Structure formats: C-alpha cells, structure tokens
Amino acid sequence: MDRTLANGLRVLALRHGVTPLVEARLHLPRPCPARGDLASSMLLAACLSRREDVESDVELDAAADVHQMTVTAHGPEPRSLAAALAQVVRAVPGEAEVEPARGQLAAQLKMVRAHPDITIRHELARHLFGDHPVAFQVSEEDVGRWPERPLDPSGAVLVILGRDDPESLADAAGEALVGWPTPPCPAPPLPPLPPIEGGRLALLPRPGAPQSRVRLRAQAVTVEHPRYPALFLALNVLGGYLSSRLSRSLREDKGYVYGVTTFFDTHPGSALLAIEADTAAATTGAALEVLAAELRRMRTHPPTEREIGSARAYALGSMATRLAPRAAFASALADMAAKGRDPLWLLDFPRRLAAVSSRDVVAAAKDFFAPGRFSGLVAADPGTLASPLSL
C-alpha cells in the first residue's frame, strides 16, 4: 500500500512475516547547512529517544545526520505505534528533558570522536568534498541551542511492516499522522556533492600506529542508472565477498590485510565506489601495489563468466538472507528513502541483478576500475612508508 497524506507524508505499508511485532521507520528530510544545525538536530533526536510518555508497549529511537532524521519504532499493535510516532514528531520537550539529553549526547560524541575510524571517516570526507556539509564533525562543545525548525512531514516517508493487511496498517498511520502540520517555510536542500577528482591519494599521519587503514573512493552511477546492476556485480567480483579477487590476492595469497571489502558508498544524488582495507604498517606499500594491480587487472583480465555467476549468486543469496528479518527489511526501505531513492526500487533489484548480461559486467569493469579514478586516504605511520603513496 503506497499512500501520500494531505500534509505530504508518504506512507508505505507492506505485509511481511508472521510475528505480531510491527516495525516502522520514519525518514524525515532535515538538511543541515551549518554545523550548528546538525548539532541541534542531533540534540532533538536524543530528546525523542529519551521520551518516556509514549505508548508503554512501543520502543522508539531516533538518529540524525546532515541530511535527515530517522525515527525507528516497533510495537505489537499498529495503532499504538502510529500514535507514538504522532506524539514524538509533534513534541516540544521541556528544559527538564533537554538537559539530560544534552549531557548524554555530549558524552556520546566525546566517546565517538576518540575512535580512530571516526576521525579517518571525517578526514576522508574533507579530503574528497572540502567544506561540503557531509564533512561536518560535531563535537561535544557544539551541543548547545535547541532546534528552531519543527519536524516537517512534507517529503517524509513512513515505512510500516506487519502481518496485518497493508491497507489497515496504512489506515492506522494515516489517522494518527494526517494532522501533523507542515511548516510554512521548508528548509532548502543541501548542495549536491561535487564529483570526485581521481588520483588524489593523501597520507593521514598516525605516528606509531601498528596498522594502516586504506580508504579509497571513485565516482559511480546512482541506483536508478541502467548500468548500476552491472557495476554492482563487477564491484562484487573485485572485493565484495570472501572469494573475490582482492580477498584472494591480498588476504589469502599475500597475507597483507586483516580485512578488505568493496561497497557502494551512497549519498542523496550521488554514489561512490568504495574500497577499504586494513594492513600492517610494514606492508602498507606492498598492499597498495597489489590493490592497484587488481584494479588494472579488472580492465586487462575482466570478470569471467564463472566469477560473474558466483558474484550474482552471492549477491542474491546474501540480500535475501540479510533482508529476511522484518526489522532489517524496514531499515533497508527507509535507507533508500534517506538516500533520495524510491524505496520500492529495492523490491525490483533482485530481478534487475538476475537480468544483467556478462557483457555489461565486463564493460563496467573496464570503464570504472582504472586506478587513476580513485582518490582517498591512507592512515599510517609515515616512518613505515618507503615511498610516496600512489596507485
């Protein structure tokens, strides 16, 4: 059931599974053009997560990033779940609620910033996109002002999954949320991400670090593009699972890496090819050489029929397994909305993967995997590098 309410909220209700628990994911576009906007949006999410006056049988959580806020909820009955969502999206917490949430959020941010992967992710975004809002890193000192903008139902998407008839699920959501008002001045969207300039590999110094982290990105096509399924399979051949080329050469044959993976790093309006690997400090240069050689080999020795068949079988099987739980399927649909895609696209993707020809996968491998298309960071001890970084 696909229904849009008068206030602009899109409700997607699907029958899924047989257990009585109802899952809901509410995606709320909430662009944050300034770091203070992001901090205040995160504070609002922290307050919503702590609310104790919602329906007693409903569990609810909220999270925010630079693009949106996502509210996660589940409970045994659709009407109480919808009522709880209606309550939180229109709530105006008092200072007695805000102060504990502010303290909790500040403590969480301090702990998160201490993790090296978070620092690397932030520096990678700055390296690739400069001062674009996706590179914001909020600290505990930024958690101050209360957000001035109310939550906006216009353009929001509610995904609700249960064993009941989808029309009754949508009715319950519509009755509870149709009165949620639309603010008079919606916030403008963030500027699009700039395209990645290839060949920019930078060192993030980590003196004394026993291992190095390689984080690479290259421009890709978005999921709506006709070439996306073929590129998806080509990326799987390269590094998407244990039998992939990078895993065999870097991990099994050479023993250079603790782990290596490839995936699509998606953003609203943009998609990137991602390669990530962790290696011992002493083998950083050698691991980069093997990685670059495998990228070149994707073009000189493109994926074989057997590799493509294995990558396709793995992708279809892992997707079915991963999305089998109701909560995971609800989150995946909401994530599609958060990335600016129609969530229903996910339902058709297995068919698109199955229909991809080997010729299209080979063409994608040749067009997208030149080493010079990739940029990124290597977080490493400079003293362990014998030569400048390159691919």
Query: Side chain identity at 261, as an amino acid letter?
Result: T
Q: How confident is the model at residue 16 (pLDDT cuts 50, 70, 90)?
A: confident
Domain match, 30 and 136 both: yes
**Helix runs in 136-251, H state only:** 166-177, 228-239, 245-246
pLDDT score of 98:
81
Domain match, 145 and 217 both: no
In a domain, 211, yes or no: yes
pLDDT above 80 for 387:
no
Q: How far apart are CA 237 and CA 234, in angstroms?
A: 5
Contact 285, 201 (CB under 8 A): no
Domain match, 231 and 374 both: yes
In a domain, 194, yes or no: no
Q: How far apart are CA 353 and CA 357, in angstroms?
A: 9
Contact 218, 384 (CB under 8 A): no
In a domain, 141, yes or no: yes
Handedness of CA 203, 205, 208, 213 (dihedral sign): negative
pLDDT above 70 for 54:
no
Query: Side chain identity at 141, as an amino acid letter?
Result: E
201 forms bridges with which residues in the sheet? Answer: 376
Q: How far apart are CA 51 and CA 90, in angstroms?
A: 12
Q: How confident is the model at residue 51 (pLDDT cuts 50, 70, 90)?
A: low
Token pair belonging to 141? 């000192």
Domain match, 246 and 376 both: yes
pLDDT score of 97:
75
The reported pTM is 0.90
Q: Of 376, 241, 374, whose CA–CA distance to 233 is shortest?
A: 241
Domain match, 211 and 128 both: no
Domain match, 173 and 207 both: no
Domain match, 206 and 300 both: yes
Q: What is the rounded average pLDDT of the residues 119-143?
A: 90
In a domain, 389, yes or no: no
Instruction: Please state, rounded to an integer, the average pLDDT across all residues of the chain.
Output: 89
Q: What percent of the chain has pLDDT over 90?
A: 50
Q: What is the rounded average pLDDT of the residues 86-97?
A: 78
Supply the range of the domain harboring residue 126.
2-177
In a domain, 196, yes or no: no
Q: What is the rounded average pLDDT of the residues 117-122?
A: 90
| Segment of 69-78, 141-150, 228-237, 344-353 carrying the highest mean pLDDT | 228-237
Q: How far apart are CA 130 and CA 239, in angstroms?
A: 28
How many other CB atoms are found less than 10 A from the CB of residue 154?
15
Q: What is the pLDDT of residues 328-374, one digit of tens each?
A: 988 898 888 888 788 888 888 999 999 999 999 999 999 999 999 99
CATH number of the domain where residue 24 is located: 3.30.830.10
Q: What is the pLDDT of residues 164-207, one digit of tens each?
A: 888 988 888 889 998 898 887 777 889 999 999 999 999 999 99
Domain match, 216 and 320 both: yes
Token pair belonging to 180? 């949620």
Q: What is the rounded average pLDDT of the residues 129-150?
A: 83
pLDDT score of 88:
85
Domain match, 132 and 13 both: yes
Q: How confident is the model at residue 52 (pLDDT cuts 50, 70, 90)?
A: low
Q: What is the rounded average pLDDT of the residues 305-312?
A: 95
Q: What is the DSSP string of 249-262?
A: IIIIIS--EEEEEE
In a domain, 293, yes or no: yes
- Using the 8-state DSSP alphabet, how is residue 228 labeled? H
Q: How far apart are CA 337 and CA 340, in angstroms?
A: 5
Sheet holding 375-380, edge to edge: 201-205, 375-380, 211-219, 270-280, 257-267
At 318, is the secondary structure helix, strand, or coil? helix
pLDDT above 80 for 235:
yes
Domain count, the chain: 2
Domain match, 120 and 234 both: no
Q: How confident is the model at residue 228 (pLDDT cuts 50, 70, 90)?
A: very high
Q: What percent of the chain has pLDDT over 70?
A: 98
Contact 158, 173 (CB under 8 A): yes
In a domain, 206, yes or no: yes
pLDDT score of 252:
85
Lowest mean pLDDT among 108-112, 229-233, 272-276: 108-112
Question: Higher model confidence: residue 145 or residue 67?
Answer: 67
pLDDT above 70 for 255:
yes
**Helix runs in the chain, H state only:** 35-50, 78-89, 95-113, 116-129, 166-177, 228-239, 245-246, 284-300, 305-322, 326-338, 345-355, 358-368
Domain match, 238 and 327 both: yes
Contact 311, 279 (CB under 8 A): no
Q: What is the rounded average pLDDT of the residues 235-245?
A: 93
Q: Of 158, 184, 179, whose CA–CA distance to 334 is shortest?
A: 158
Handedness of CA 296, 299, 304, 308 (dihedral sign): positive
In a domain, 310, yes or no: yes
Domain match, 274 and 165 both: no
